Amino acid sequence: GENVEQHPSTLSVQEGDSAVIKCTYSDSASNYFPWYKQELGKRPQLIIDIRSNVGEKKDQRIAVTLNKTAKHFSLHITETQPEDSAVYFCAAVSSRSNDYKLSFGAGTTVTVRA
Amino acid sequence: DTGVSQDPRHKITKRGQNVTFRCDPISEHNRLYWYRQTLGQGPEFLTYFQNEAQLEKSRLLSDRFSAERPKGSFSTLEIQRTEQGDSAMYLCASSFFHSEETQYFGPGTRLLVL
């Protein structure tokens, strides 16, 4: 099955700086890569996603890049704000089966220092 | 709130007891997923339904676990003879047939088995 690794496990940044989280996946048939943000005690919230036919996608202060050859994808948050503090999860969906189940990384705890 | 809802939000039970959780997906979402999340980890796939049909079960889903979605709307997840190792957050997600890989999560049910 798909195996997703995520780094770093914790990330502390100064408000206004950028944050980058990296993930690698093992299944070359994976073709959909969402990112979820989970605040303490709350549901995972989809913040951005990318499909394998696209190399980069932006939405305001967040962007995701995908390198299919290297099988890795990254989340970039610019101009970080205190409300960006949360746990971020990357995930991958393989096209090998029709289940569309998400395989998650272990998460990155982001702390934005004011 | 028109998002995915779950009930109860918290459940404390004694080892050996049975528990049942409910998930109400977003209206007209045909797919419904159950995931389990333990502390410091990303969610792990348990099972999913397409309408009322349960199409896949993870090996994580032992014989003590059963899930149903009788009318293709809400779903229930029952754990029989709970064990301390069942303590986790149980998350439900749903997706629409136009974009089945895009899953929206509920707030989860946090289970503590004493």
Q: What is the pLDDT of residues A32-66, one digit of tens each?
A: 999 999 999 899 999 999 999 889 999 999 999 99
Closest-approach residue (CA) in chain B for A39: B107
Q: What SS3 class is residue B10?
A: strand
Instruction: Identify which of A89, A93, A101 has the shortest CB distance to residue B42.
Output: A89
Residue B1 confidence (pLDDT):
52
Cβ <8 Å between B101 and A42? no
Percent pLDDT > 70 in chain B is 99
Q: In DSSP terms, which residues pair with B105 in a beta bridge?
A: B93
Q: What share of chain A is helix, strand, coil (3-state, %, to 5)?
A: 5, 55, 40
Cβ <8 Å between B42 and A107? yes
Contact between residue A104 and residue B42 where contact means Cβ atoms under 8 Å apart: yes
Distances (CA, A) of B26 to A107, B19, B93, B95: 25, 23, 9, 8
Q: What is the pLDDT of residues B56-89, one digit of tens each?
A: 999 888 999 999 999 889 999 999 999 999 999 9
- SS3 string, A21-72, reads EEEEECCCCEEEEEEEEECCCCCCEEEEEEECCCCEEEECCEEEEEECCCCE
Chain centroid to CA B99: how far? 20
Q: What is the pLDDT of residues A61-86, one digit of tens each?
A: 999 999 999 999 999 999 999 999 99
